[in-house]
Amino acid sequence: MSRFIIFGEEEFTLGFKLAGVNDIIEVNENSAEKEIKKILDEKVDGIIVMNNKAVKYLHERTRLKLEDSVKPVCIVLSETAEQENIRRMIIKAIGVDILAKK
């Protein structure tokens, strides 16, 4: 069964709680790496939505693993998303680089 996981600090997860999302993992700087490794070790099928702040708590190797992961797909919400990361997510999701210059 696919899961829809919200991953981040309480400020980020609060709106999702109010919207009725139940699969929420609240983390802080000390617990983020451990919690995301649990999810990756379980080979969860689904989507992880996290904010940029939670991603910054993770080690670089873990970040790259999440970006390349197909199961689960990781979506990072950010006020200032980097174009290259968005491009990689689009390619992973649909298999086509729609931002490529002709």
pTM for the model: 0.73
* DSSP code at position 78: -
Q: What is the mean pLDDT of residues 11-22?
A: 90
Beta strands in 37-102 (DSSP E): 46-51, 73-77
What residue segments make up the domains of the chain, in order of their start?
3-94
More confident residue, 18 or 85: 18
Beta-carbon contacts of residue 94 (< 8 Å; ≥ 6 apart)? none
The two tokens of residue 12 are: 């980020």
Beta strands in 3-102 (DSSP E): 3-8, 24-26, 46-51, 73-77
Q: Is the CATH code 3.40.50.10580 the one for domain 3-94?
A: yes
Answer yes or no: is pLDDT of 92 > 70: no
